[in-house]
Structure 1
Amino acid sequence: MKQTLIIGASENPTRYSFLAAQKLKAKGYSVLLLGRRKGSVAGQEIHIQPLPWENIDTVTLYINPGIQTAYYDYIISLNPKRVIFNPGTENREFEDILVAKNIVPVRACTLVMLTTGQY
């Protein structure tokens, strides 16, 4: 099963990361959550420390570019197939680093991709 890691997960139901976690779970995807505060979404625990997860297919970002720099090495270490930069998270510097590591950067909205069957 393809696993998705959401970075910037929140149990606030008005956040897009919350909606994405719910929609991914509803569509049968395995979801892992990393956020600033402990909690849970869609029956999954929000972790506050990066963990050495394996078999990550997709990382979807809900954190701004200024925060992303602290996660560059971590995300690369997970060796995902792609990293989705949701609106507001676009980061040319990180996208270029990912391409150099053979990881596909995708500028898109996870929710739209799920809705249109492009996920």
Structure 2
Amino acid sequence: MKGKKTLVVGASLNPNRYSNIAIKRLTDKGVETAAIGLREGKVFNVVIDTERKDFEDINTVTLYLNPKRQEEYYNYIIGLKPERVIFNPGTENMEFVKLLKDNNIDSEIACTLVMLSTNQY
């Protein structure tokens, strides 16, 4: 998994939020992780940015935003040219799935935490 950089979109500083737990599990597995959220801060040495930075070499984007909130991120995420986007439970968005497909980006409707715990990440 080294070299497979993941961007968590919808990252939270709240340790009870799934995005926060995902950041911890990703870093525990040695996955280089970046994060974007509403509030700046750090989660397990991962800086949560509030701005949409032009991250390099993003392999996977894992979403923790509801479909309505995702709309403002469509062009940004497509522009990062990830290999795949993971729609975690509650983030399923068929409009965005189609846009990703049109741009040759794979999408999965899955749970990042389950994928990590079953070594399917």
Aligned-pair CA distance for 1:109: 0.2
Structure 2: give runs of 5+ residues left out of the alignment: none
- Residue 51 of structure 2 is matched in structure 1 by 49
- How far apart in 1 are the matches of 2:4 and 2:44? 17
- Residue 24 of structure 2 is matched in structure 1 by 22
What is the TM-score when the length of structure 1 is the normalising length? 0.99
- Residue 116 of structure 2 is matched in structure 1 by 114
Q: How many residues align?
A: 119
- How far apart in 2 are the matches of 1:117 and 1:21? 16
Aligned-pair CA distance for 1:52: 0.4
- How far apart in 2 are the matches of 1:42 and 1:49? 19
Identical counterparts, % of pairs: 52
Counterpart residue identity of residue 8, structure 2: I
Structure 1: give runs of 5+ residues left out of the alignment: none
- Residue 87 of structure 1 is matched in structure 2 by 89
Counterpart residue identity of residue 59, structure 2: D
- Residue 12 of structure 2 is matched in structure 1 by 10
What is the TM-score when the length of structure 2 is the normalising length? 0.97
3-state DSSP of counterpart to 2:71: helix
Superposition pairs of residues 94-113 of structure 1, within 5 angstroms? 94-113=96-115
- How far apart in 2 are the matches of 1:102 and 1:16? 28
Q: CA RMSD in A?
A: 0.4
- How far apart in 2 are the matches of 1:114 and 1:15? 16
- Residue 59 of structure 1 is matched in structure 2 by 61
Aligned-pair CA distance for 1:83: 0.2
- How far apart in 2 are the matches of 1:21 and 1:42? 7
